[in-house]
A and B are shown apart, each in its own frame.
Chain A
Amino acid sequence: MSTKAPLESRRQLEAAATTRPAVGSQPSGRRTRTHTPAVAGAQTARFHRILPATLWTREWLLTLGRPRSAAIKVAMPLVLSVPLVSGGAPTFWAGMLLTVLVAMVGAVGSGVALARARSGGLLARLAVVPRAPSRLAGEWVLAATAVDTVQMLPVAAVVVASHPSASAALALLACIPAVLLFTNALGCALSLLADGPGEVLLDVMVVLAPLLFLGGLFTGVPREGWRWVAARLDPFAYLHAAFTGALGGVASFSAAEVLVAAAVTASISLAALAAVGRALLARA
């Protein structure tokens, strides 16, 4: 995965800025929209000189290229979490709602985006580039996970601020990206089964609901029996525990257990992504 700055080089940017269009190269044809407003002109011009080379950079550019949409993405979880936290909602139920939110953000986002990419021919074009499918899918899903994590960070900040505790904060901040990676990979896998974006939504609900139940989000985690075992294998149980603990409630798992679970969840998700990536592009 590439984490370098998206600018290829200063020299490139200068070259791009100084290249003049060919005379008469303006094509005819009606524009579908008016040109970029002059107010945002300079900023937009700078933005459009950043040259992406990877899906990672593309994902960030697409996110930042729609400031209003990005602001709404960040505001929406806050609108839910601030009243919960400031209103003193029971920690178990507040944790449940926030866990469901994280699960939906990751799985729906990736699933719908990939289903659209398939129907729009983007996956077919990716399938013929000379790079490993697992790497391409990994790059895409990791970028989506990073964007989702940024989206959920303000929520984490609000929760942590309500009952400051270093261990609970650490557990939460580790568990959120791990579970987002898991749900993004899940969305990626579910997009393989669906025929279109609408169907992905249904598939996500059908798969997430039992997973959330097994994680004890609706009824708590029993102390024995098969459901206790199931909950220990369910990433949502740990995220729920992380939220509950950070909100000052009694969590089903300790912060140390949550940290270990986050590491395991992230590792398994990455391994699964490699296999899903191959299947994803093979079905393009």
Chain B
Amino acid sequence: MTAVAPAAAGTPVLEARAVERRYRGGRGVGPVDLHVGPGDVVVLMGPNGAGKTTLLRLLATLGRPQRGALRWFDSADPAVARRSLGLSLDSTPDDETLSGLQSAHLWCRQWIREPSRALALCEEALRRFGLAAVRHEPIATYSYGMRRRLALVEALAHEPRLALLDEPTAGLDPTGVHALAAELRRRAESGCATVVASNDANFAAMAASRVAFLVDGRLLRCAAPAELLAAVGGARVAELSVVDATGLDVRALRGLLGVERVDVQADDGVVTLRYHDPASLPRIVAVADHPGGRLRSMRLHEPDLADAFRELTGSPIHLDAR
């Protein structure tokens, strides 16, 4: 099967209009509007149960929306989408007796008819993801992280014009995350689009051209990372780990001069606050290290997309499914 011809500039790779799919109990996704053009890397962020995977499956032609319309490469026919689609779900290849190259080749050949080209594409993708040295070894000998890399090779080796990746950084070491970000940038330069479901704020900042914030199945914001980060611009973030967040005097923290916002995740014992003035830090420590709260550690960092998510949606990104 040959890949679809490159799209003309401006032709959307993917277009979702008021797409909705809800399960019994109300969980699911929609209505969502999403436009993905050539070269776009869109990262969907949202807490567990926000609908990221449901949306990704709909975009991958796995199931139909109950309402709304989907178009791929300017066509509503899912068969057109499948001609140049790459999909990686949050699972790993489990054909344990096959080698990495064999498994990658099997999937690549579903799209690429010419055996020598398929082999060359697989070899190249395995090299990019750091699996070249072990490509002839059985998957049974691979670590979890290596299997995750192989799953990405299988999704991307045939150079699909649209790739859909669910939690691709899960299980990857920092080198793997950087390799993936580089791969998505390389794809973007050649006009291929990627939609990723991931809550890895650092990865999103490295790879995304746009980040979409999903909460309760609704897409609240979709913009370039810089635009989203501007919402928390100028501030710095202190992440406090306390022994007992319930015993902490949150009101006193909020009342400190220069402290802008305080969020408490009582179950995890994590308190996140934004401050503008470094002179506030001793006062923050003094309040947090009170016998009622007991400060365990404190981490200071620049605001990232998780902080932007919190600012713009009003809820933390690491939220248990409700």
Binding between chains A and B: yes
Interface residues of A (CB under 8 A from B): 8-9, 11-12, 15-16, 19, 21-22, 25-36, 44-45, 48-54, 57-58, 61-62, 65-66, 120-122, 124-125, 127-131, 284
**Are A121's CB and B61's CB within 8 A?**
no
Find residues 70-109 in chain B having any chain A CB closer than 8 Å to their own CB: 79, 81-83, 85, 87, 89-91, 94-95, 97-99, 101-102, 105-107, 109
Q: How far is the CA of A8 from the CA of B114 in the complex (A)?
A: 10
**Are A128's CB and B85's CB within 8 A?**
yes
**Are B127's CB and A25's CB within 8 A?**
yes
B138 within 8 A of A: yes
**Are A27's CB and B176's CB within 8 A?**
yes
The 6 A-B pairs at the shortest CB distance, nearest first, are namely A65-B97, A21-B132, A121-B91, A53-B109, A21-B133, A48-B99
Given A31-B142, A120-B94, A130-B82, 5 more A-B residue pairs with CB atoms under 8 Å apart are A12-B119, A25-B133, A125-B154, A127-B61, A128-B87
Q: How far is the CA of A168 from the CA of B154 in the complex (A)?
A: 48
B235 within 8 A of A: no
Contacts of A28 in B (CB 8 A): 173, 175
B260 within 8 A of A: no
**Are B134's CB and A52's CB within 8 A?**
no
B318 within 8 A of A: no
> Which of B6-14, B28-36, B144-152, B188-196 lies at the interface?
B144-152
Write the chain A residue with the least CB distance to B120: A15
B233 within 8 A of A: no
Q: Which of A36, A50, A61, A129 contacts B82 (CB 8 A)?
A: A129
**Are B82's CB and A27's CB within 8 A?**
no
**Are A27's CB and B175's CB within 8 A?**
yes
Query: Scoring B residues 279 to 296 as 1 if CB is less than 8 Å from chain A, else 0, what string do you get?
Result: 000000000000000000
Write the chain A residue with the least CB distance to B127: A22
Q: How far is the CA of A211 from the CA of B91 in the complex (A)?
A: 37
Contacts of B130 in A (CB 8 A): 22, 25-27
| Distance between B201 CB and nearest chain A CB, rounded to angstroms | 23
**Are B145's CB and A130's CB within 8 A?**
no
Q: How far is the CA of A15 from the CA of B116 in the complex (A)?
A: 9
Contacts of B81 in A (CB 8 A): 128
Q: How far is the CA of A51 from the CA of B109 in the complex (A)?
A: 10
Q: How far is the CA of A29 from the CA of B176 in the complex (A)?
A: 11
Q: How far is the CA of A65 from the CA of B87 in the complex (A)?
A: 26
Q: Do A52 and B62 contact each other (CB < 8 Å), given the known contacts A25-B127, A45-B136, A62-B95?
A: no
Contacts of A130 in B (CB 8 A): 1, 79, 82-83, 85, 110-111
**Are B115's CB and A12's CB within 8 A?**
yes
B183 within 8 A of A: no
Q: Which of A26, A45, A48, A128 contacts B133 (CB 8 A)?
A: A26
